[in-house]
């Protein structure tokens, strides 16, 4: 199985365009050892030619341009054969508009709550009907697996996660199963498994089971601490209230991953305020000591 990290940052990327926090200021000035990041997205394939895109970030054009395997092989073409949406958040769906020039309808797999959000509060699907159109494929959330045409030798299993719908969603204050999901990707021929959950606010039994069975866990790395936004002087919002399990502290992602899996442990969707972006920071060393990797744009993973 081939996995390409197209973007590893949280919403806004790194540096964020209007932010002058400790990290953003130093990365712009060249005084911090770290890497710039676009907004989170990955692609997976079994043959290296036909790819499933997970989420379509606002940075999708530059991400695909930097990814030769996605480039057209004929006059109008792409290595991206289908798209699976983890949620309906702006930083995971706005890039669909950048794909409107497709010569065929976009084959999009998503949950029913996400489909409703993208036809009501943020009607991207309706807008795309005036361009390439969308073929929507519902995602089962009952534990049953499914395959995707042209994405050979890969099998997918999705499950609902505790989360909130986006602020624009008609059911923002009435969470539905499927607002946010985790996905197990299994290579049928080898049995190798990836677990992907870029937004993870709690480790429920289905999450623990998926992590334990995975050869690679690629999960939420948004915040280092629960009160990180407040400590940075940006917003009085806690990580857990935003649906993200912080890395540090009791019950944090470091502690969870230590006992959850023996496979590779990689963080994605990293917020611009997170000190792990500084490769010389003690927080980054703590991850290294725990055997936890930090994804970066262009990272290649092979299972």
CA distance 187 to 2: 10
CA 293 – CA 267 distance, rounded (Å): 6
Give the mean pLDDT of the chain: 96
3-state DSSP call for residue 300? Answer: strand
Q: How much is the average pLDDT of 137-158?
A: 97
CATH number of the domain bearing residue 78: 3.60.15.10
At a CB cut-off of 8 Å and minimum separation 6, what does 265 contact? Answer: 217, 219, 257, 290, 291, 292, 293
The tally of domains found in the chain comes to: 1
- Decide if pLDDT at 164 tops 90: no
Task: Determine if the pTM surpasses 0.75.
Answer: yes
- Supply the pLDDT for residue 197: 97
Answer whether residue 181 shows pLDDT above 90. yes
pLDDT digits (tens, 9 = 90+) for 214-255: 999 999 999 999 889 888 888 888 888 888 999 999 999 999
16: containing domain: 2-302
Reported as a single tens digit per residue, the pLDDT across 253-290 is 999 999 888 899 999 999 999 999 999 999 999 999 99
How many other CB atoms sit within 10 Å of the CB of residue 235?
A: 11
């Amino acid at each position: 199985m081939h996995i390409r990290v197209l973007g590893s940052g949280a919403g806004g990327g790194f540096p964020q365009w209007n932010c002058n926090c400790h990290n953003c200021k130093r990365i712009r000035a060249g005084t911090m050892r770290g890497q710039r990041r676009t907004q989170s997205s990955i692609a997976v394939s079994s043959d290296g030619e036909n790819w499933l895109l997970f989420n379509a970030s606002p940075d999708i054009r530059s991400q695909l341009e930097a990814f030769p395997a996605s480039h057209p092989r004929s006059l109008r073409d792409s290595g991206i054969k289908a798209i699976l949406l983890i949620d309906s958040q702006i930083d995971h769906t706005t890039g669909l508009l950048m794909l409107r020039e497709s010569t065929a309808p976009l084959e999009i797999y998503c949950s029913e709550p996400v489909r409703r959000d993208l036809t009501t509060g943020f009607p991207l699907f309706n807008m795309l009907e005036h361009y390439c159109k969308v073929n929507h494929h519902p995602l089962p959330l009952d534990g049953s697996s499914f395959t995707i045409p042209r994405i050979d030798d890969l099998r997918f299993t999705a499950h609902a996660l505790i989360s909130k719908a986006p602020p624009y969603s008609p059911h923002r204050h009435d969470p539905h199963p499927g607002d946010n999901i985790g996905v197990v990707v299994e290579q049928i021929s080898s049995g190798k498994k990836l677990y992907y959950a870029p937004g993870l606010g709690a480790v429920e039994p289905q999450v623990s089971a998926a992590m334990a069975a995975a050869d690679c866990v690629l999960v939420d790395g948004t915040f280092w601490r629960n009160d990180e936004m407040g400590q940075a002087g940006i917003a009085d919002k806690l990580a857990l209230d935003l649906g993200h399990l912080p890395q540090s502290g009791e019950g944090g992602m470091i502690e969870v991953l230590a006992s959850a899996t023996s496979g590779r442990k990689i963080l994605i969707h990293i917020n611009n305020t997170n000190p792990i972006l500084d490769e010389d920071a003690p927080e980054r060393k703590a991850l290294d000591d725990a055997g936890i990797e930090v994804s970066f744009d262009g990272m290649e993973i092979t299972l």
